Structure 1
Amino acid sequence: MKPAMNYGCLLCILVLLPALCHSQDSFTPSRATYYGSPDCYGTPTGACGYGEYGRTVNDGSVTGVSRLYRNGSGCGACYQVRCTKPQCTGEGAYVVATDYGEGDRTDFILSPRAYAKMAQPDEYQTKQLFAYGVVEVEFRRVPCRYSGYNLVFKVHEQSKYPHYLAIVMLYVGGTYDITAVEYWQEDCQEWKPMRRVYGAVFDTQSPPSGDVNLRFQVSWSNGATWVQPKYPLPRDWKAGATYDSQIQLD
């Protein structure tokens, strides 16, 4: 993402989604800017590999992150970001990390929609905040809450049935990270690791020919565990299809 000035999106101030809730963690000082977007939403070509999900999740209140990207394991993390200018609210914006981006010593490059939410609900105040371009902020990680959604895995559009399988993890709730994905190799009777290609995308050049049993390593600040979807990926999987894991992370 490239930081940019975009005054056409000054009025994109929407109600905060109830999907994200508060955390008791302390705030960390940082800096934030925003990127140009014709409709104030995110970008479908972000480094996390989310596609359209990365553009519209959390109603477009998304962000590119730098050090918080953590080689892709930071994709999908949720943050409360609030600025310290007089034009800013005490609540700030609640955002989802969907891309990698570096600005002027910034941790966050926000969508215009998210950047506007840091401002007082007044067009003049919002315009002033956009005029700064880069602002001092403080942030903390908060749990993601996706009402009505379990952890979902999507067969990436670049998958080529039956020889190449890539999946991307969506709707990771709570303050969890997906740090590894494995599939069951029946003839070897062992779990085989999938490669993290980039962001939230994992792949294998030799997927099993039948149903594909997957498991995901879920990590948090002081531990990790493996979780397995209730149903395997069907043998006739298709590129672009999404599958509900029946796993609820919160």
Structure 2
Amino acid sequence: MHLCALFCEGGACGYGTLVDVRPLKARVGAVSPVLFKAGEGCGACYKVKCLDTNMCSRRAVTIIVTDECPGGYCSGGKTHFDLSGSAFGRMAVAGNGGSLRNRGEIPVIFRRTKCKYPGKNIAFHVNEGSTEYWLSLLVEFEDGDGDVGSMQIKEAGSGTWLQMSHLWGATWCFVGGPLSGPLSVKITTLSSKRSLSARDVIPRNWSPKATYTSRLNFF
């Protein structure tokens, strides 16, 4: 597998400006389709280590999947990472950060690792265009697996969970309604099938483009 420098904004996962601020800043990465999994791989975390002992230290960097890498490098079922310049630089021997970034492509090894967002709980961003008949949510700051395999919502006073559909990237949606808030949200991870339910996390008077933080996380 190989790696090269990443130049992008927001990315195919839909995290938008979150990629420019901590805790995602300098830890963002794009991956090939085999890891992107049509968007269901969004939010997963990997440790990536450079194998070029002339240019690289023994340090691995932890990256969060925020995008899908474009172009020929990602075709044919290859495993491939595109990293930010900062992530590239952290793997370099002292003073070689610029030279390593200019190499363009280097051999690496990688492994899946747990995502950690100290002090953060899972949040749900209501995407622009959402209405009481079409609700679209983006999951943020999910510890542990980081990915989402299924997502459900439940209306206030109801005992029925309504299945959401994977729309794109880290975005899920429900078509139906009208929905009556507050809404509870249940997410189940793709990797280990762990579930978490955030009760009444979306308030009755929710609004598009707002982010609502739960009191929970997987750690």
- Under TM normalisation by the shorter chain, which class is it? 0.7 to 0.9
Letter in structure 2 aligned against 1:148: G
For the residues of structure 1 that align with 2:2 and 2:208, how far apart are their CA atoms?
38
CA distance in 2, matches of 1:71, 1:102: 13
Q: 1:60 to 1:195 in 2, by over 3 A?
A: same
Q: After the TM superposition, which segments of 4 or more aligned residues of structure 1 sit over 6 Å from their partners?
A: none
Q: Check if 1:49 corresponds to 2:14.
A: yes
Q: Secondary structure at the match of 2:218?
A: coil
Q: Are residues 1:242 and 2:215 paired?
A: no
User: 2:173 is matched with which residue: 199, 203, 217?
Assistant: 203
Instruction: Tell me what 1:177 maps to.
Output: 147
Q: Which amino acid aligns with 2:195?
A: W
Please report the RMSD computed on the Cα atoms of aligned residues, expressed in angstroms.
Answer: 2.1
Counterpart in the other structure of 2:31 = 65
Structure 1, 79-88 or 181-190: larger mean CA deviation = 181-190
Instruction: State whether residues 43 and 146 of structure 2, in contact with CA within 8 Å, keep that contact through their aligned partners in structure 1.
Output: no
Structure 2 counterpart of 1:214, one-letter code? V
Give 1:75 deviation, angstroms. Answer: 0.8
Structure 2: distance between partners of 1:52 and 1:216? 23
Q: Residues 34 and 237 from structure 1, CA distance in 2 versus in 1: closer, same or farther, beyond 3 angstroms?
A: same
Q: Gaps (5+ residues) in structure 1?
A: 1-29, 37-41
Contact persistence 1:92–1:119 (CA under 8 A): no
Task: Choose which of 157, 173, 190 in structure 1 pairs with 2:160.
Answer: 190
Q: Percent identity?
A: 28
Q: 1:60 to 1:176 in 2, by over 3 A?
A: closer
Partners of 2:201 and 2:65 in 1: CA distance: 28
Alpha-carbon shift at residue 59 of structure 1 (Å): 2.4
Deviation at 1:106, TM superposition (A): 5.0
Structure 1 residues 49 and 65, CA gap change in structure 2 (3 angstroms)? same
Residue deviations 1:26-84 (CA, integer Å, cap 9, x gap): xxxx2100123xxxxx522x111111113334322210011211122211111111111
SS at match of 1:33: strand
Kept in 1, the 8 Å contact 2:126–2:208? The answer is yes
2:60 alignment partner, one of 89, 92, 106:
92
CA-CA distance at 1:153 after TM superposition = 1.2
* CA contact 1:92–1:118 (8 Å) conserved in 2: yes
How many pairs align?
210
Match for residue 42 of structure 2? 75
Q: Identify unmatched segments of 5+ residues in structure 2.
A: none
Aligned amino acid, residue 187 of structure 2: F
> Could you tell me how far 1:185 is from its partner in structure 2?
5.5
1:189 CA displacement: 4.7
- Between the aligned partners of 2:15 and 2:63, the Cα distance in structure 1 is 15
**CA–CA separation in structure 1 for the residues paired with 2:98 and 2:144:** 33
Q: 2:80 aligns with which of 107, 117, 125?
A: 107
Counterpart code for 1:138:
I
**Local SS of the residue matching 1:166:** strand
Q: Please tell me whether the aligned partners of residues 6 and 29 of structure 2 are also in contact (alpha carbons under 8 angstroms).
A: no
Seen in structure 2, the aligned counterparts of structure 1 residues 201 and 143 have a Cα distance that, compared at 3 Å, is same
TM-score (norm 2): 0.86
Instruction: Tell me, in whole angstroms, the C-alpha distance in 2 between the residues paired with 1:92 and 1:160.
Output: 40
Paired residue type of 1:31: H
Which of the residues 94, 99, 112 maps onto 1:141?
A: 112
Secondary structure at the residue paired with 1:52?
helix
Q: Distance in 2 between matches of 1:187 and 1:84?
A: 55
- How has the CA–CA distance of structure 1 residues 130 and 47 changed in structure 2, closer, same or farther, with 3 Å as cutoff? same
Superposed displacement of residue 99, structure 1 = 0.6
Shift, 1:166, TM fit:
0.7
Distance 2:189 2:215 in 1: 15
Work out which of the residue numbers 85, 90, 93 in structure 2 matches 1:117: 90
